[in-house]
Amino acid sequence: MPELPEVEVTRLGISPHLIDHEIQQVIVRNPKMRWPIPDSIKTLEGLKILNITRRAKYLLLETEKGFALLHLGMSGKLCVVPSSTQVQKHDHFELVLKNDLCLRLNDPRRFGAVLWFENLADADGHLAHLGPEPLTEDFTGEYLFEKSRNKTCSIKQFIMDNKNVVGVGNIYANESLFMTGIHPKRAAGKISLNRYFELVKNIKIVLAQAIKQGGTTLKDFTQADGKPGYFVQELKVYGRAGEACKNCSAELQGIVIGQRATVYCKNCQK
């Protein structure tokens, strides 16, 4: 599914085409998404998009009357196309702008979401439980160390829990733990402060690289301009079980942790 880097790349891709432009029409072709698209989404008609921000994997379209909250779910993608572009199967939601462009949400599995809130505080049911953004100064080694005390769950499950830090999805958890040399099954509460310093640094590096290179190409993801991401070419362990470790040439091991595919090097990760 699209993870934080993919969502951030989407935000960067659509923002120049939408910010400061007025919404002429809201089209809902199928309201049956993860949560039903509310009738109040029509409030967007006639409003100008003032800003587009991201919180975790949610995109927030800000207007003078409220916020549209969008989530890509497991298979969703947003693209900006001329309003005359032929509608595709699974194009469930559309914002038609007065500049003859439109923003379309295509979501084959319909696990995405489009919601409307007059005040951002009203969205707390979706946002209040979320941990810090990983690329901000709020996310530090000290924070993660303190948060992990007495935790017996695996470090991989710990950093993938959005209550602890948002956006460290399966791909990026695998890669960050490999870079830090931490075995993914190690108990979160048994890891030292110094190693948490290193892990936080590497999480930031991995996510920043993914954003810079356009997000990770998954079968359901393309950027807003239709071009696939390229970070998948740089992956050291994810999806490479049975192949040689790029550090020591040992065979990479594949296991399942928390129902998620996990790949690690038995030599490099302790």
Annotated active-site residue 132? The verdict is no
Choosing from 3, 6, 8, 175, which is the catalytic residue? 3
Coil, helix or strand for 106? strand
Q: Which secondary-structure segment (H or E) carries 68?
A: strand 67-71
- In contact, 165 and 159? CB cutoff 8 Å: yes
240 is catalytic: no
Q: Is 2 a catalytic residue?
A: yes
CA-based nearest residue to 117, from 71, 62, 72, 73: 62
Q: Rounded to the nearest 10 degrees, what angle do helices 193-212 and 4-18 cross at? A: 40
> With 0-12 CB in 10 A as exposed, 13-18 as middle and 19+ as buried, what is 19?
middle
| 109 known ligand binder | yes
Concerning whether 3 is annotated as a catalytic residue, the answer is: yes
Query: Active-site residue among 2, 5, 134, 184?
Result: 2
- Which residues lie below 8 Å from residue 136, measured CB to CB, with a gap of 6+? none
Please check if 92 is assigned to a binding site. Answer: no
CA atoms within 13 A on the CB side of 23: 24
Helices and strands (DSSP H and E) totals, the chain? 6, 10
212 Cβ contact partners less than 8 Å away, ≥ 6 residues apart:
none
Q: Which of 6, 8, 54, 57 is catalytic?
A: 57
The answer to whether the beta carbons of residues 26 and 41 sit under 8 Å apart is: yes
Cβ atoms 183, 270 nearer than 8 A: yes
Summarize the annotated binding site for DNA as residue ranges.
Answer: 90, 109, 151
Q: Show which residues are catalytic.
A: 2-3, 57, 260
Summarize the annotated binding site as residue ranges.
Answer: 90, 109, 151
